[in-house]
Amino acid sequence: MTSQPTPSDRFTTATATIAELDRRPVRHLIGGALADSDAHFEVINPTTGQPCARAPEATREQLDEAVARAREAQPAWAALRWEDRREALLQLAAVLREHQDELAALITLEQGKPLAAARGEVGRSAMLIEQFVTLRVEPEVLRSNATERIEVHYRPLGVVGAITPWNMPLVLSVPKIAHALLAGNTLVVKPSPYAPLATLRLAELARKLFPPGVLNVLAGGNAFGQWMSEHPGIAKISFTGSIPTGRRVMGSAAGTLKRLTLELGGNDPAIVLPDADIDAIAQRLYDAVFVNCGQVCMAIKRLYVPDALYEKACEALAGIAREARVGDPFDPATQLGPVQNRAQFDIVQAVLEDTRARAGARILTGGKALSGPGYFIEPTVVADIAEGARMVDEEPFGPVLPIIRYTDVDDAVARANAGPHGLGASVWGTDVARACEVASRLHAGTVWVNRHVGADPLAPFGGAKQSGVGRQYGLTGLKGYMEAITMVLPPAA
Ligand code: NAD
């Protein structure tokens, strides 16, 4: 029986992984081979603000090559049995599990989440594949009578382009890989230039699992994402990122009328009902706000609390935030790491500046950056703030929580539904039937009662309103990577 790695084993793995980055160059995977580029960019460690690796910057010619190789490989990949594609994907899940500590170290290094959370991200990525492959898309018979038989068949689209952000490098790229490949497509993946290392390393580890050209992963900047979105050889873009970039992707894809799945930003409201038990839910609310330092699309970003519970909720949440251990994400005691990059750090600071300028707003705890290196911001809880402030109207994507007072539940629902976002929303109360009734009035892709954050692999996940187009996860998500073909046939013999 092998023993479980201890925290000190994990620290050793992390140190070795980081040291290895100096010796083993970071490479793209194109057509089954590892490849470099002439130009490179630095990957910054958000804990120190210093470079931690050098990644190759792919050219337009390398994109053309990757697309050409993916197109060549696609018919044979689609012709495999569903079970064979499933088997290859289960091996990808096994690679994630086998290299969990190494991949987690890369995520912590480049993204800044605590090592335990990074291990969780790698484990969840493997679990998502294992769940997705239980799905199977079969032809559907819609009508069968003496004169005709109408069936819907689902076919792969061809080459899919996947573009991902920096907050969850593997948990956001792996579902796109699993959906696209299970459906019989081949793939070109572009991770965020802020955090490309774990995705590129996964591609390197997995390169023998798939025929050459089936999975291609290239590091590139924003222009590279635009080239993908415009590319005539790519049939679909599956994009996760911000709303403004989602609009650009949609514009770039218009010329070739690509299929699109857009998983975009959120500004999730949570409504605490007057019968809620604050002592029982405060920690769970806190966790759903400050998870990954607030850098989760479906984190709580606005908390609506009724007059009678307001001061108690403010004190409970601020109390937890005051105790939070902020620091080096490789230290097992750390609960909150840095904000991932300088640009995001500046955005969060501007939001805090706006908050300080609001008459009446009370910063209960936090409110500023930590001195010293890295992009650290104190966990911040703000009371007596309302719509009109940037912290309430925008998605700050950092460790900040506005607590908004309300008197009337209908008014809270209207305010929660206002604005362009619609990713997630939640309602919290002890009378579950009442909480479910209020939840039924919220406009979001996912609505929770007495919890927030989390997506079941078999349930469709995505945004209402401007938080997205289309869905991932579940059969709905998988079919988004396929074309529905209506077959009008003679009656069945
Ligand atoms: P971003 O939109 O800046 O970048 C995302 C990706 O798009 C990166 O790979 C980037 O290089 C690429 N890109 C940039 N410009 C492009 C262009 N013109 N054409 C094509 N690609 C381009 O987002 P980010 O700052 O990396 O991530 C944070 C955002 O992502 C937040 O808004 C967050 O809510 C959102 N997000 C959404 C989900 C979801 O599932 N809905 C999940 C995670 C993050």
Homologous superfamily of the 268-456 domain (CATH): Aldehyde Dehydrogenase; Chain A, domain 2 (3.40.309.10)
- Sequence-distant (≥ 6) Cβ neighbours of residue 349 within 8 angstroms: 369, 377
Distance, CA of 436 to CA of 121 (rounded, Å): 30
Distance, CA of 33 to CA of 260 (rounded, Å): 28
Q: What's residue 24's pLDDT?
A: 85
Q: What's residue 493's pLDDT?
A: 62
Q: Which two tokens stand for residue 168?
A: 């969850």
Burial of 17 (0-12, 13-18, 19+ CB in 10 A): buried
Q: What's residue 2's pLDDT?
A: 46
> Could you confirm whether 263 is annotated as catalytic?
yes
CA-proximal residue: ligand 1, atom 8 (nearest): 192
Q: What's residue 23's pLDDT?
A: 81
Distance, CA of 237 to CA of 160 (rounded, Å): 6
DSSP 212: T
DSSP H or E stretch at residue 175? helix 169-182
Distance, CA of 436 to CA of 449 (rounded, Å): 7
DSSP H or E stretch at residue 313? helix 307-323
Q: What's residue 20's pLDDT?
A: 82
- Nearest residue to 416 (alpha-carbon basis) of 433, 401, 404: 404
CB neighbourhood size of 55 (10 A):
22
Q: What's residue 4's pLDDT?
A: 65
Does the CB atom of residue 172 touch ligand 1 within 6 A?
A: yes
Q: What's residue 1's pLDDT?
A: 42
Amino acid at 208: K
Q: Catalytic residue among 65, 121, 263, 378, which? A: 263
Burial readout 180-215 (b: 16 or more C-beta within 10 A, e: otherwise): bbbbbbbbbbbbbbbbbbbbbbbbebbbebbebbbb
- Nearest residue to 177 (alpha-carbon basis) of 198, 193, 194, 195: 198
Q: Which of 43, 110, 163 to mutate to test ligand 1, by most ligand atoms within 8 A of the CB atom?
A: 163
Where in the chain are the domains? 7-264+467-485, 268-456
Does the CB atom of residue 397 touch ligand 1 within 6 A?
A: yes
Cα-Cα end-to-end distance for the chain: 58
**Which residue ranges of the chain lie beneath pLDDT 70?**
1-7, 10-11, 493
Q: Which of 41, 199, 242 to mutate to test ligand 1, by most ligand atoms within 8 A of the CB atom?
A: 242
Q: What's residue 435's pLDDT?
A: 98
DSSP H or E stretch at residue 165? none
41 to 33, 142, 209, 334: CA distances (angstroms): 21, 53, 28, 29
From ligand 1's centre to the CA of 239, what distance in Å? 7
- Is the CATH code 3.40.605.10 the one for domain 7-264+467-485? yes
Q: What's the full length of the chain, in residues?
A: 493
Say if CB 30 and CB 69 are below 8 A apart.
yes
